[in-house]
Amino acid sequence: MMFAAAAAAIIVAMVITFARAVLGPSLYDRILAGNSFGTKTVLLLGIMGYLTGRPDFLDIALLYALINFVATIAILKFFRYRTMSPTMDDLRQIEKEKAE
Amino acid sequence: MEDFQTPLQPIILLDLAILSLLIATAFAMMRVRRLFAVVMLSGIFSFLAALFFVSLDAVDVAFTEAAVGAGISTVLMLTGMLLTARREKPAVPGHKNIAMVICLVTGAALFYATIDMPAFGDPNAPANIHIGQEFVERTPQDIEIPNIVTAVLASYRGFDTLGEVLVVFAAGVGVMLLLGAGSLRGGRKVKDDRPGDDETEHDGREF
């Protein structure tokens, strides 16, 4: 019963986060919404394992947490440097542009 | 062969919630014009799909969906978006009706096809009685791997999997040859020249 209540609460939180991803006026609102939606997925995965009586899904939830983290870092890095794999020259040029 | 009914469990409610969120995300992706929002929404869609796969017991498919759908393709679509435009162009009027009819017919055909499918978890389903049963019984003796899907993928049809890997590798090399060496650095030479782009670049409001 307790797990069902927790699952329901997470679903509600997911709906709210989803609304922020659709409405969110700025870029960072949306990145944050995507990231926290991933976190909610991880939580729901863990709870689903206990709901069905097989908590061995927990390590998959851990892997999702890792993927979510890496994806968010990649997106943020991308907006900082505007390229997927900046070379040292690119970085120097970006810093120079910033300074001007 | 007696009839099999999928047992009604409270987890069904959770499935319903996940599926309704999936539909809501799909509609939002169609309606929203800011492409960055669409990219983030597609990441959310992948996470939801992965959740649903786990609830269907297809853990390895969920694994792939989360890694490829939510992780890599989000970043790839961002790359594509930065090379093109930030906003979707308004739809051309006049073609909507034909597209709608095609979508409805395809959807109806898919729904019609699901009627013939066996119920979820049916022990009498064709997938569970003939060769599937054989694999379940033989895997522990043939190769000592607890996960049968992994055993089939990497051992029983190992050459097939190797061929698939080769095809994917060849496709990657082909794309890289087509785009040229500059594509490795994210194609910085290509600029999305639109008035006012540079001023608002780091504000974030533009997206």
* Domain coordinates in residue numbering, chain B: 11-88, 124-152, 157-191
Alpha helices in chain B (DSSP H): 11-31, 35-55, 59-64, 73-83, 96-115, 126-129, 131-142, 148-151, 158-179
Q: Label residue B91 exposed, middle or buried (CB < 10 Å: 0-12, 13-18, 19+).
A: exposed
Residue with tokens 């997911």: A14
Contacts of A39 (CB under 8 A, 6+ apart): A65, A68
CB contact under 8 A, A27 and B48: no
| Top CATH class, B11-88 | mainly alpha
Cβ A32 vs Cβ A12: under 8 Å: no
Predicted pLDDT at B192: 45
Predicted pLDDT at A82: 66
Is the predicted pLDDT of residue A73 greater than 80, yes or no? Answer: yes
- Rounded to whole angstroms, the Cα distance separating B33 from B25 reads 14
CA angle A58, A61, A64 (to 5 degrees): 160
Cβ B29 vs Cβ A21: under 8 Å: no
The more confidently predicted of residues B121 and A17 is A17
Predicted pLDDT at A52: 79
Q: What percent of chain A has pLDDT over 90?
A: 16
Q: b vs e for A10-23, b when ≥16 Cβ sit within 10 Å of the residue's Cβ? A: bbebbeebbebbbe
Mean pLDDT of A6-19: 92
Q: Which residues of chain B have pLDDT under 50?
A: 1, 190-207
| Residue B44 C-alpha, separation from nearest chain A C-alpha, in angstroms | 6
Predicted pLDDT at B182: 61
Confidence of residue A83 (pLDDT cuts 50, 70, 90): low
Predicted pLDDT at A14: 93
| Residue B97 C-alpha, separation from nearest chain A C-alpha, in angstroms | 26
DSSP assignment of B47-92 equals: HHHHHHHHHTT-HHHHHHIIIIIIIIHHHHHHHHHHHS-SBPPPPP
Predicted pLDDT at A18: 92
Tally of CB atoms within 10 A around B138: 13
Cβ B59 vs Cβ B53: under 8 Å: yes
Tens digits of residue pLDDT in B158-173 = 899 999 999 999 999 9
Tens digits of residue pLDDT in A44-67 = 988 888 887 777 778 778 888 888
Q: Which residues, numbered 15 to 44 in chain A, qualify as contacts with chain B under a Cβ-Cβ cut-off of 8 Å?
A: 15, 18, 21-22, 24-28, 30-31, 33-34, 37-38, 41, 44
Model-level pTM? 0.74
CA angle B38, B40, B42 (to 5 degrees): 70
CA angle B42, B46, B51 (to 5 degrees): 145
The more confidently predicted of residues B87 and A5 is A5
Cβ B205 vs Cβ A26: under 8 Å: yes
Helical packing angle, A27-51 and A58-81, nearest 10°: 170
Cβ A79 vs Cβ A30: under 8 Å: no
Predicted pLDDT at B6: 58
Predicted pLDDT at A63: 81
CA atoms within 13 A on the CB side of B206: 14
Is the minimum CB–CB distance between B185 and chain A shorter than 8 Å?
A: yes
Is the minimum CB–CB distance between B95 and chain A shorter than 8 Å?
A: no
- Rounded to whole angstroms, the Cα distance separating B17 from B11 reads 10
Tens digits of residue pLDDT in A33-42 = 988 999 999 9
